[in-house]
């Protein structure tokens, strides 16, 4: 797949429309709750295509929206100083995972993706609010980073265990939003490097990913509009239940 045109000729109109709808929905979810674009994209696209192809499509939308998220607020420098061991570990873990595992298109990849989605959904639904003492951050951050990186390389999902860890640091709402954007940006760039290494991210894939930026941004605007009119807590619960069902389907059927 060397060109954008050849990519869409291979996908066909039906799959192309599914991809557009997926990024519109994923952007809407991110607009409402501040995360979920890569998770929703990987989960839904994993039903119709190889996870490596799905991961390649999310690179540009994920990078752009996460950079936008991390640049808002005034805590970036402090967060980098505090979180750099975890961020470095995410990059290293993704590199190790890309060399060791990679998304080779085997059935185990789809099942691993399903397992990651189920685990994330269960954390969102049932995990109580945790607190990490400052004295444990020095070793726990890198451990979570390595684990997140390996899971990212294998499934394209980079929320486990990074999101529960960041939520346990006692950050303010603005700091947490910015910290999530920072973590997701590093994960996306590391994933892109891994896909490039395996030859899964060429000019055609990048061109198609760039096209997916538009529906993702439209979805984010819709989500921000919805956030003012619906209960974010209820929406998040419905999101996690749906994610658990989607992950279970992938886990069982591969």
Residues 188-206 have pLDDT tens digits of 999 898 888 877 777 777 8
- Alpha carbon distance 88, 22 (integer Å): 30
Tens of pLDDT, residue by residue over 220-241, are: 899 888 888 888 788 888 888 8
Tens of pLDDT, residue by residue over 129-150, are: 788 888 899 999 999 999 999 9
- Alpha carbon distance 149, 158 (integer Å): 7
State the DSSP code for 103: -
Q: Match 């999902």 to its residue by tokens.
A: 157
Q: Match 């099942």 to its residue by tokens.
A: 111
pTM over 0.85: no
Residue 76 has pLDDT above 90, yes or no: no
Q: What is the pLDDT of residue 92?
A: 94
Alpha-carbon separation of residue 245 from 82, 105, 144, 166 (angstroms) = 36, 22, 25, 25
Give the dihedral sign, CA 158/163/169/171: positive
Q: pLDDT band for position 252 (50/70/90)? A: confident
Calculate the average pLDDT of the chain: 84
- Alpha carbon distance 127, 201 (integer Å): 35
Tens of pLDDT, residue by residue over 79-105, are: 999 999 999 999 999 988 887 766 555
Check whether the bond before 252 is cis (ω within 30° of 0). no
∠ Cα 57 147 249 (to 5°): 55
Task: Count how many Cα atoms sit within 13 Å of the Cα of residue 26 in the half-sphere of its side chain.
Answer: 27
Residue 2 has pLDDT above 50, yes or no: no
């Amino acid at each position: 797949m060397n060109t954008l045109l050849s990519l869409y000729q291979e996908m066909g109109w039906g799959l192309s429309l599914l991809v557009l709808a997926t990024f519109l929905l994923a952007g809407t979810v991110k607009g409402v709750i501040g995360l979920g674009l890569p998770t929703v994209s990987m989960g839904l696209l994993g039903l119709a295509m190889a996870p490596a192809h799905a991961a390649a499509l999310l690179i540009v939308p994920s990078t752009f929206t996460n950079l936008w998220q991390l640049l808002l607020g005034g805590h970036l420098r402090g967060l980098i100083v505090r979180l750099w061991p975890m961020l470095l570990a995410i990059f290293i873990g993704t590199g190790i995972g890309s060399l060791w595992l990679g998304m080779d298109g085997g059935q185990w990849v789809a099942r691993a993706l399903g397992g990651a989605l189920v685990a994330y959904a269960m954390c969102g639904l049932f995990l109580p609010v945790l607190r990490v003492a400052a004295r444990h951050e020095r070793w726990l951050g890198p451990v979570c980073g390595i684990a997140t990186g390996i899971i990212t390389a294998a499934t394209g999902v980079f929320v486990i265990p990074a999101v529960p860890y960041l939520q346990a640091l006692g950050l303010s709402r603005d700091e947490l939003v910015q910290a999530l954007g920072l973590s997701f940006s590093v994960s996306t760039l590391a994933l892109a490097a891994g896909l490039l290494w395996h030859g899964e991210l060429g000019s055609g894939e990048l061109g198609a990913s760039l096209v997916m930026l538009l529906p993702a941004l439209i979805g984010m605007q819709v989500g921000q509009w919805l956030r003012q009119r619906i209960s974010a807590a209820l929406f998040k619960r419905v999101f996690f239940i749906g994610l658990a069902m989607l992950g279970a389907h992938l886990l069982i059927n591969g």
